[in-house]
Structure 1
Amino acid sequence: MHPAPLVATTRGYPQDRDLAGGYAVENIHHGSIAVVDVAGHLLWSAGDPDVMTFTRSALKPFQALPFVLDDGPARFGFTRAELALLCASHSGEEKHLVGVTAILDKIGVDESQLACGCAAPLYYDAVGLPVPAGRRWRTVHHNCSGKHSGFLAWCRLHGAPTADYVDPAHPLQRAIRATLADCVRMTEDTLPMGIDGCSAPNYAMPLARLAHLYARLAQPGPDPRLGGALGELFDAMTAHPDMVSGDSRTDLAWMQAGGGDWVAKIGADAVQAIGIRSAGIGIAIKVADGAPRALHPATFSVLDQLGLLDATRRAHLDPYRAPPLKNARGIVAGDVHAVFTLDKAEPPA
C-alpha cells in the first residue's frame, strides 16, 4: 500500500472561489491514517495504515510511562499539571517554565542537567509574533524540557546516573524501550530507533500501532497489562491540555473540543495521535512529506468523518478545517483542505 492524497492546497482569486471548479489545485500532500479500537483492530484507514512512522513527540506519554508505572509522581509529590508537563511539547509560557522548575526542585536536580538543549519558545510562532532578537534562551524554554525533567525524575527515583540519560544504553532508555515494545507487541529489535530533536531516542512503528497506543491511553478503567498508569496520564493531559501544549496550539484546541474525552499529542514532521475515550478508538495520522500545514485539515476531516464533531465542536475547530493561504500583504490566495475519504476496514475474522 502507498500513501494516499490527503490534503490539497489551492491558488486563485477570492472572487473565483464560488465559480465552477473553484480555486485551482496547486499541491497535493499525501499521507496515511489509521483508526483502531482498544483491541488493536483496524476500523478505518487511508493510505497505508501500517507505514513505519517515527512517533516523534506523540511518543511522550509512553516515554513517561515507566516513571508512572513505578509510582514516581506520587513518590515526588507531582501535581497533575506537572505530570501533564512530562507529556508536553509546551510553548515556553511562564506557567510552563514555573512547572518545569517545580519538578526539578522536587527531584533535587539543577536545570543545567537537562539534555534537551536550548531553543526559542514555540509560543511566538503559535501566536504569530516574531521571536525576540538577541535573547538567550534557557533549557527550560525548550518544548521538551518537561519530558526531560521526567527523565531525570526516573533517574533520581531509581538511583541511576543523571549524566548521559539520553544514551540508548542508559537504564532509563532501556526501560522506555522495553516498556514500549511490550505495549506495541513488538520485539525491541524490530523497533527502529532514531535521535529526536531533543537528543532523546525515538522509535518508529507501524502507524496502526501508534493509533492503538492512543486507544489504550484513552480507555476507561485499568489497562489489563498496565493497570491504572495510562489512566493517570490521560487524566493529567486532559485536565491540563494547556500544559501539554500552549496558547493557539492545535493539541490544546483538540483537547478543549473534546471536553475531557479526547487526548491529543502532535509530533514533529506532521504526526498526530488522538485517543477518543467515549468511542473507544485511537487515531494516528502521518503526512508523508512532513508538512504541518496539511496535518491540521487532515485531523479535522478525520474527526468529522468519524461523526465526532457536533455544532459546538465544529465551530471551535473550524479554523483548522480549511485554513486560508495568505500572501505577504495578507491577501487570501487559496486554502488548504482535505481531499480524502476514510475507507472502512473489513471486520476481523
Structure 2
Amino acid sequence: MTLPSHVPLAIASRNTHVERIHWGSVAVVDTDGALLAYAGDPHASVFSRSTLKPFQALPFVRDGGPGHFRFTDAELALACASHGGEQFHFDAVSSMLDKIGAAESDLRCGVHMPDVYGEHNLPPRGSVFDQRHHNCSGKHAGFLGYCTLHGHARDSYLEPEHALQRAISREVAALADMPEADMWSGIDGCSAPNYGMPLERLARMWARLAAGTSPSGAETDASLARIYGAMAAHPEMVSGTGRCDLALAQASHDGDWVTKVGADGVHAIGVRSRGIGVAVKIADGDFAAVYATTIAVLRQLDLPLVTAGTQLEKWADPVLRNVRGAAVGQLQSTVKLTWA
C-alpha cells in the first residue's frame, strides 16, 4: 500500500490554537488530461464514491433509456444524485420506478434515515422510510431502467459481472484513459460496485463531463452533454435543500459548473466555460473541510464565485459553533494551488 503525499488543506482552531488539521490533495485537469494545477498529491489513489454517479448513469443515457421511458430531465438528474430524501425526491423516484415497471422492492440500495434529517432536524415521530428515501435510490432506479431496457436480470444488477456493471466499467475506464484492469474496485455504501483511480483521472472525467466531449476530444459526446444539462438545470435533484452542492450550483452563472460530493472526503466539479475538472480529497473525510477547500480552490481559479450574503457563506471558512450556537472556533482553508 502506497500512502499519498497529502498536505494540510484546512485547519480548525479554537481560541486561536490549532485543534485539527485536515490533510488532502487537489487536482485541476483539462479535457486532454493535462494537469493544470494541484495541491498535495494529484496522483493519489482515491475511491471515487458518489462522484462517479454521472458516469454510472452513462450507459443508460447512451442507449436511449431516458427517452424510451419518458424520464424528465429532473428524473435524469436524480439518477446522478446523492439526494436528501425529501418528498420531491421520493416522488420522483416513485415516478421513475412506475415508468420502468419496477417496484420499491426491486431496489437493492437498502434503507437509511433520509439525509435531509440530522441531529438538529429530527424526523417527525412515527416516520416510516423505505428504499426510495435512500440517497442513491435515483441511481438505482436508473440501473433498473437499464436492465429493463435490455431485458437483463434485475435481481442481480449489482453483481460486478452483470452486463450493467460491465458497461459502467468500460465507460469509466474510457473517460479516465485507463485500462479497466488498472482501476481498483470496491463496493460503495449503497452496495453498488465503484472504482478507485488517481485523483487527476477523476478530475479528467469531470472535465469531459463539463465539456461534453469524447475521450479523444475530437467530437461532442451527446450523452455526456445530456447528463451535464440535466444536472445543471436541476441541482436540487442532485443534492437537496440546504446543502453545499446545491449552493455551489446556484452560485454558477447559467449553469457553468456542476458539482458532486462523495463520502469520505471526495468532491468533484466540472466547469464548462473552462473545460476543466476539479477533484478534491480530504483524507479524514470531513465534509466541512471538503467544502471550505473546494470553495477556496474555485476562488483561486478566478471563477466568479460570490459567497458573502449567499447560501455559500456558511460553507466558506465557517465559524464553528457548539449546540447552543455559541462561536467556539474557526475552520479555515489553507489550500494553495501550484500551477503545473
Contact preservation (8 Å) 2:307, 2:316 = no
1:37-186 pair list within 5 angstroms: 37-125=30-118, 128-132=120-124, 135-186=127-178
Contact preservation (8 Å) 2:8, 2:23 = yes
Equivalent residue for 2:199, pick from 207, 218, 229:
207
**Structure 1 pair 287–221 and aligned structure 2 pair: CA distance change class (3 A):** closer
CA distance in 1, matches of 2:53, 2:218: 21
SS for the counterpart of 2:196 is: strand
Equivalent residue for 1:292, pick from 276, 284, 287:
287
SS for the counterpart of 2:331 is: strand
CA distance in 2, matches of 1:192, 1:327: 40
User: How far off is 1:322 after superposition?
Assistant: 1.1
CA distance in 2, matches of 1:105, 1:58: 27
CA distance in 1, matches of 2:21, 2:243: 24
SS for the counterpart of 1:125 is: coil
% identical equivalent positions: 50
CA distance in 1, matches of 2:199, 2:177: 13
Q: Which runs of 5+ in 2 are unaligned?
A: none
Equivalent residue for 1:247, pick from 236, 241, 255:
241
Contact preservation (8 Å) 2:110, 2:190 = yes
CA distance in 2, matches of 1:327, 1:161: 50
User: How far off is 1:315 after superposition?
Assistant: 4.0
Contact preservation (8 Å) 1:69, 1:226 = no
CA distance in 2, matches of 1:80, 1:188: 30
Q: Which runs of 5+ in 1 are unaligned?
A: 13-22
User: How far off is 1:162 after superposition?
Assistant: 0.3
User: How far off is 1:132 after superposition?
Assistant: 4.2
Specify the code of the residue in structure 2 equivalent to 1:277.
R
CA distance in 2, matches of 1:294, 1:210: 19
Contact preservation (8 Å) 2:212, 2:221 = no
Aligned equivalent of 2:224: 230
Specify the code of the residue in structure 2 equivalent to 1:6.
L
TM-score (norm 2): 0.94
Equivalent residue for 2:5, pick from 2, 6, 14:
2
1:270 aligns with 2:265: yes
Contact preservation (8 Å) 1:8, 1:339 = yes
Aligned equivalent of 1:18: none
User: How far off is 1:225 after superposition?
Assistant: 6.2
User: How far off is 1:307 after superposition?
Assistant: 0.8
Specify the code of the residue in structure 2 equivalent to 1:298.
T
1:302 aligns with 2:297: yes
**Count of aligned residue pairs for this structure pair:** 333
Specify the code of the residue in structure 2 equivalent to 1:176.
I
Give every structure 1 segment of 4 or more consecutive aligned residues whose post-TM-superposition deviation is greater than 6 Å. Answer: none
User: How far off is 1:220 after superposition?
Assistant: 5.3
User: How far off is 1:135 after superposition?
Assistant: 3.3
User: How far off is 1:268 after superposition?
Assistant: 0.5
CA distance in 2, matches of 1:42, 1:100: 38
Cα deviation, 1:192-242, whole Å, max 9, x if unaligned, reads 111100000010010001111111111157764672000000000000000
